[in-house]
Structure 1
């Protein structure tokens, strides 16, 4: 059931499982299925998650905290050390920001859309976008349907196995049932196929470029709940360390 993307098929397979193992009266299974929207793949794939799994963020942050905080710290010690954690995180952001200014990503395919992606995206996101662009070259459009309001393309995935549906609206916006953009904010190879070959777009439409994945993600100051600029305080706090990077 983990690989099922369709809600109806997910429900059908669940019913088959209950019959196969004769567990229709199992109280725990009833409760678990009752909150399927929180864990079932057909449902959670519609939610934004920056491409992370449900536990990836907490596990990563927990591992990072171990270098600063011990289980026997009292409340005062905890907040003192947690402030060090935030300072270290923000310092690493400054390092990454400086690196972006000094080194451009390597563009393997010399076309306008890739040059645009290299110019706006961070290096990590550009690499992922470039992977999707390479995949789009092997994606095939198998069928085209038009219902008057939108056009639906049946696209055969680059692996030649999975079939995807890409819907193009009258305003030329596109959505794919693989939900990569909705979950991670990067256009999938299936949408790129339609944008490039059917709509003849030479650049990524602005609505598909999330600011959080761009080099200008930190260009605006972040305010706390009292209205104070957090980013300004961080830069002042880290001025001497940042200058050492630029030396």
Structure 2
């Protein structure tokens, strides 16, 4: 989308094309809506033969949001994660950093990141936001989510004030709600419909809700349309299956157990016990990985141990999934190396040679024959 001025800026109706194209990309919730809006835009401005737009349409499954929102991306649709990590390490290392300096600076970078995470954990546990609504789900999410994710949830909850129930259809205990949201478009308010499917269960925890905008599938956060339906059904607490573990403030991050010089955890009693168990589990995993029967036996035993340690009964949704032969064949997708392309710009310089090496490798000049 950032290439629009470069590719279509010379068109006399560029502003209208830009507006139509952005609407087709960002306001389409299902593939059929995008394709209809795309084709109308091409016909209206006679862009059917534009090579750039043709190439974009052929790869629409890779970049148009309505095609990728069924996959969880934690809200990221660009390379911002790798770019942020690169920018983070740029403060500590550069192209002239030696290997010894890199190891030292790498630990300094991890120390900085760990200190910031500890500060955020402290703030999440010891500071609280005052509720601005009367719904119990706001206090529920405040006690469960970190500050950043709670702000996102509260934004969706307060956005409920712009939503209302339009119509309801039911079939086999599945209700299809039409939620109407007032949104701003071109300086005026328009009413936009969203389809929300709701299925009742034996209890509030077993109910299912799914919105056409697929915000939960894409970002892991219930949207305002789904919250509108839950509150309409008098469900004032969010079911636990919609509280993703990655957003919780009490999550135990595995990287905090990595052995580093700046952490005191390694020398503590808890750290020593952790190392002893990891060593024992590693030996068992090496022996049991030879046969599928041994692997299943170990996983079942670990599941029982987990239930004894936590005091919770292990059910069908155990934290360990036992993969079968069929699952292993489905997930055996071979990832190929990226294509090697010619580098742009000036080629890399050659290494410096000594005077002796230059004399030895110097090619003799050809004598001219008269």
TM bin, normalised by shorter chain, reads 0.7 to 0.9
Decide which moves more: 169-178 or 57-66: 57-66
Q: 1:35 to 1:84 in 2, by over 3 A?
A: farther
Which of the pair has more CA radius of gyration? 2
Which residue number in structure 1 is paired with residue 285 of structure 2?
Answer: none
- The yes-or-no answer on 1:90 pairing with 2:114 is yes
- 1:191 deviates by 0.7
Conserved 8 A contact 2:200-2:208: yes
- Between the aligned partners of 2:200 and 2:133, the Cα distance in structure 1 is 30
Gaps spanning 5+ residues in structure 1: where?
223-229, 241-247
CA distance in 2, matches of 1:13, 1:86: 47
Q: CA deviation at 1:132?
A: 1.4
Matches within 5 A, 1:1-247: 1-3=24-26, 4-19=28-43, 20-23=46-49, 26=51, 29-74=53-98, 77-159=101-183, 160-171=190-201, 172-198=207-233, 200-218=234-252, 222=254, 230-233=255-258, 237-239=262-264
**How far apart, CA to CA, are the structure 1 residues paired with 2:263 and 2:152?**
31
TM-score after normalising by structure 1:
0.80
Q: State how many pairs are aligned.
A: 228
TM-score, normalised via structure 2 length: 0.56
> Distance in 2 between the 1:119 and 1:215 partners?
8
State the 4+ residue runs in structure 1 displaced beyond 6 angstroms: none
List alignment gaps of at least 5 residues for structure 2: 1-23, 184-189, 202-206, 266-370
For 1:236 and 1:78, the matched residues in 2 are separated by 15
The CA RMSD measured in Å over matched residues stands at 2.6
The offset of 1:60, in angstroms, is 2.5
CA displacement, residues 33-88 of structure 1 (integer Å, 9 cap, x when unaligned): 33322101211222222223413323322322221121333555445433332232
SS at match of 1:86: helix
Distance 1:34 1:168 in 2: 35
| CA distance in 2: counterparts of 1:188 and 1:80, whole angstroms | 44
Q: Quick one: distance in 1 between partners of 2:48 and 2:217?
A: 37
Give distance in 2, aligned partners of 1:235 and 1:148: 57
